[in-house]
Structure 1
Amino acid sequence: MDAVFKALADPTRRLLLDRLRERNGQTLGELCAHLGMARQSATQHLDVLQRANLVTVVRRGRERLHHLNPVPIHQVQERWISAFDQPRLSAISAITQQAEEQAMATSTSTSGVPDYVYVTYIRASAEQVWRALTDADLTARYWGHANVSDWQTGSTWEHRRTDGSEEVDVAGRVLESVPPTRLVITFQESAADGDEDPVGEPSVVTFAVEPHEGIVRLTVTHERLADQASHDGVSHGWPAVLANLKSLLETGEVLPAEPWQMTPVRGARAHADA
């Protein structure tokens, strides 16, 4: 928390966060142009924000795209504010969380930046995280579906139900597989009953696994989403799935209830869209 409070104490760094809240996924040059600031000064402020986990960087070719990570601010709110007035502020917390999730997905596929970026930290090794992402039995435990493939570049993969039917709800192809640090797949919903063709064009999901001194930073990037409904779906779905994965790896047990079954707060979404 010390690093978060230190980062937020500076008005320039708060302004950088505001600019990323307005438009996520900006390069250093774009941020400097909006602030009228030298690149060296902006880099120093962004380094402080990165160390506090308030900003995360996603590489796209030669570009480094900066994304707002609202999780530490949410943790400050939960620890230092909500405990003093839980009933009234729990509603504000829900609004804040949904607004933050929407902010993570403000980029569009036509802008050439990721549509959705989510970062979480897990107390595990890179090999354990990779196995959790690719092992059919483990995905069945924390995702409710078994992800089945040999996970070789060019292979197909399937998101199969675990209710005995083995129906495939999502399928795709492995675009890149570099164990245990990088997995890129296409992601396409299966055709509805009676339809011959899948639903829409495939989106692309990238899992980046970065180990550091006994923990892993897992970054999930979901690109080429078709429409706002797809944005809403992944902004609700990925945090729930990854929270269950994190719980399984750190405690040996998944969460006591399936987190994706929780209905998003409609009022919060309306607030985020306003």
Structure 2
Amino acid sequence: MELVFKALADPTRRLLLDRLRERNGQTLRELCEHLAMARQSATQHLDVLVRANLVTVVRRGRERLHYLNPAPIHEIEERWISGFDKPRLEALGAIKHQAEEYAMTSVPTYVYVTYIRATADQVWRALTDADLTARYWGHANVSDWQPGSTWEHRRVDGSGAVDVVGKVLVAEPPTRLVITFEDSPGSERDASVVTFLVEPHEDVVRLTVTHENLPNRDMFNGISLGWPAVLSNLKSLLETGDALPQSLWEMAGPKA
């Protein structure tokens, strides 16, 4: 938390975060276009944000794209805000978000980063094993996880209902999985795309989830609540052997 508050204390770094909030996934050149400072200085500010885990960098070919990571802000909200006057703050936030929505013409890409004390193989299995996903997600993700295969997000309440379907685009165990994500099967809109990037380092894995090609702000808002709940549950299961209480879904609201 000390790194997060230090990073947020500087107005230039807050400006960089605002730029990414307006349009996520920018290169260093794009972020520096309207800053009255040298590229090297902007890089130093971005490095502080990356160390604080407020910004994550995703490589796309030769480009390095910068994305907001909401995890540290989510932790601040849980520790210092949620226990005080959350209903009133949520009401004020809803009014603000509704006003901002009218001004936005595009839906940003969602990126979430978390660190898990586990091996890459354990994280991969947690993402692709139907029984494990049922334990921390409340749905079983069912597929043979081969490129071109379909996958289903099945309820585990005995109904067998499928809430999300998609196709496996890339499967490179245990480090990279890319799937389409259709929460309204049969609709004519293009499917969104989810990428799971598993990066091991010694005893820890950095898991980056990127959800892009979102059709509208409603879905963006929904997954912004859902992914933190899902990934916190996954982290708890791998590190402690137990998922978090089921009330987690009620706290998070709509699920991813």
Name the TM-score class by shorter chain.
0.7 to 0.9
| Runs of 5+ unmatched residues, structure 1 | 192-196, 266-274
Segments of 5+ residues of structure 2 without an aligned counterpart are none
Match of 1:259 among 236, 248, 253: 248
Distance 2:105 2:60 in 1: 14
TM-score, L = length of structure 2: 0.83
- Equivalent residue letter for 2:205: V
Equivalent position SS for 1:20: helix
Give the CA deviation at 1:117: 1.2
> Displacement, 1:11?
3.5
User: What corresponds to 2:217 in structure 1?
Assistant: 228
Alpha-carbon distance in 2 for matches of 1:253, 1:216: 18
Q: Residue 270 of structure 1 aligns with which residue? A: none
Question: Is residue 2:162 matched to residue 1:168?
Answer: yes
More divergent stretch after superposition (143-152 vs 18-27): 18-27
Partner residue, 2:132: 138
Q: Which shifted more, 251-260 or 149-158?
A: 251-260
Mapped partners of 2:87, 2:162: distance in 1 = 37
Distance in structure 2 (CA, Å) of the matches to 1:130 and 1:249: 11
Deviation per CA, 1:125-159, whole angstroms, max 9, x where unpaired?
A: 21111110000100011111111111111211111
Instruction: Give the distance between the partners of 1:187 and 1:228, measured in 2 at CA.
Output: 16
- 2:200 is aligned, of 190, 200, 211, to 211
Structure 1 residue 78 displacement after superposition: 5.6
1:27 to partner: Cα distance: 1.2
In structure 1, the residue matched to 2:191 is 202
1:117 aligns with 2:106: no
Alignment of 1:52-71 (within 5 A): 52-71=52-71
Q: Which amino acid aligns with 1:59?
A: R
User: Paired residue for 1:87?
Assistant: 84
Alignment of 1:35-74 (within 5 A): 35-74=35-74
RMSD over aligned Cα atoms:
3.2
Alignment check: 8 A CA contact 1:50 1:56 kept: yes
**Structure 1 120/94 Cα, relative in aligned 2: closer, same or farther at 3 Å?**
farther
CA contact (8 A) 2:226 2:253 kept: no
Percent identity, aligned pairs only, is 69
**1:87 corresponds to which letter in structure 2?**
F
Q: Would you say 1:158 and 2:152 are equivalent positions?
A: yes
Shift of 1:77: 6.1
Corresponding residue pairs, total: 250
